[in-house]
Amino acid sequence: MKIYLKNTIFLLIIVCLLISIIIYPEVSLKSAYDGLTTWFNIVLPSLLPFFIISELLIEIGFVNILGNTLKPIVGPLFKVSGESAFPFAMSIISGYPVGAKITSSLREKNIISKTEGERTLSFSSTSGPLFMLGAVSIGILGNGKIAPLIMYPHYLGAITVGIAFKFYKNKEKPVYRKNNISSIYNSLNKNYSIGTALSNAVINSINTILLVGGFIIFYSVLTELIFVSNIFNRFLNHIPLNLNIELLKALLAGLLEVTTGVKKIASLKIKLIYKLVIINFLIGWSGFSIHSQALSFISKTDMNGKLYILSKLLHGIFSSIYTGILYTIKYKEYIEPSFLPAPFHEFYFIGHWPIIFLNSLKIIILAILYMIIISAILMVIYKIIE
């Protein structure tokens, strides 16, 4: 009965969406075009290098090497094995949905256990610094000084959720690999075909990026159709409360698709701190558009998708709390009040595609080099201590 009800509701939603597309073809076409343009000119060149290289690193055993050196750090903090540091680091660098994708790949290959995967998902699904600094702080809010009040609460929220989830299935211990030179040698001595590994990485990454594009277009159309059809306004008319309609619209948009919601929140005539609290909740929550992408990866494993949704809700709540705390103790007189955002410049020009792609590639290569250097330094320290 439960499955029947769920399928019926989903079918009704799809039918209503189809009818709305027929009634409002111009809005549907424009929103789909905007979603496609965003995906092709921004998301595709930004994330494709991360997907390809992360797949290769998992295949050739780099994750095992990283796990051997970082387990003394992430183990006590999150109660996971060292391999979970890889999706966390890549998520911080690149943003949604890379962390969920890598965690799911690690679980598919049985590199981490089911419980470790669920714990890792709780803190390894974060937004990227380029989105929070470039798009939100500078592009949408027009104030680069407030970047710390967006980035710090977001990452603190993710770490807090990860620490909280270490008590999930507390009696189950993570599987630690022995930290020695022979285990690293075995990872490097792994027998694999370079051509096969590269082709599989490219194919899997292209399939993933196409899936991400489909979700972006779908939610772009869904969000616009909800507002143009006045369904939301009719629903609010039946609620006997004096509510800020524009604020509720912005919240609904953000719950579905985070960038759209952030833009709408930024345009409201409310105090900056209120904007930041709401915006940080939406970025931590990440929106159903990102959830759909993450769940599409998680569904290929035995990990619980409901726990992922719960962790994102907690992430949004903690991010908002940290925003208020940091604003009160440090940034209250540091940031300038803002009511209307500066114009948001979206670079939808095909000439920027190779620039974004090369910059993304450069970032991931530098990140890998940093991780290798840190791993080497930590290995030397561990050998001296032993």
pLDDT of residue 341: 41
pLDDT for 12-60, tens place per residue? 888 888 888 888 889 889 989 888 888 888 788 888 888 888 888 887 7
Q: What is the DSSP string of 236-292?
A: HHTS-S---HHHHHHHHHHHH-HHHHHHHHHTSSS-HHHHHHHHHHHHHH-HHHHHH
pLDDT of residue 304: 92
Query: Is residue 19 in a domain?
Result: no
Query: Is residue 329 in a domain?
Result: yes
Domain extent at residue 342: 26-184+206-385
Tokens 């609904």: give the residue.
252
Query: Is residue 12 in a domain?
Result: no
Sign of the C-alpha dihedral computed for residues 256, 53, 109 and 126 taken in this order: negative
How many domains, the chain?
1
Closest CA to 205 of 60, 97, 363: 97
Query: Is residue 226 in a domain?
Result: yes
CA-to-CA separations, 237 to 232, 242, 261, in angstroms, rounded: 9, 10, 22
Average pLDDT over residues 331-341: 53
Least confident interval from 240-249, 273-282, 291-300, 304-313:
240-249
Query: Is residue 20 in a domain?
Result: no
Cis peptide preceding 97, ω within 30 of 0 = yes
Query: Is residue 213 in a domain?
Result: yes
Count of other CB atoms within 10 angstroms of residue 185: 10
> CA 8, CA 209: separation in Å to the nearest integer?
29
Query: Is residue 214 in a domain?
Result: yes
322 vs 270, which has greater pLDDT? 322
Query: Is residue 191 in a domain?
Result: no
pLDDT for 131-190, tens place per residue? 888 778 877 787 778 888 999 999 999 999 999 999 888 776 655 555 444 454 455 555
Tell me which DSSP letter residue 341 carries.
P
Q: What's the pTM?
A: 0.83
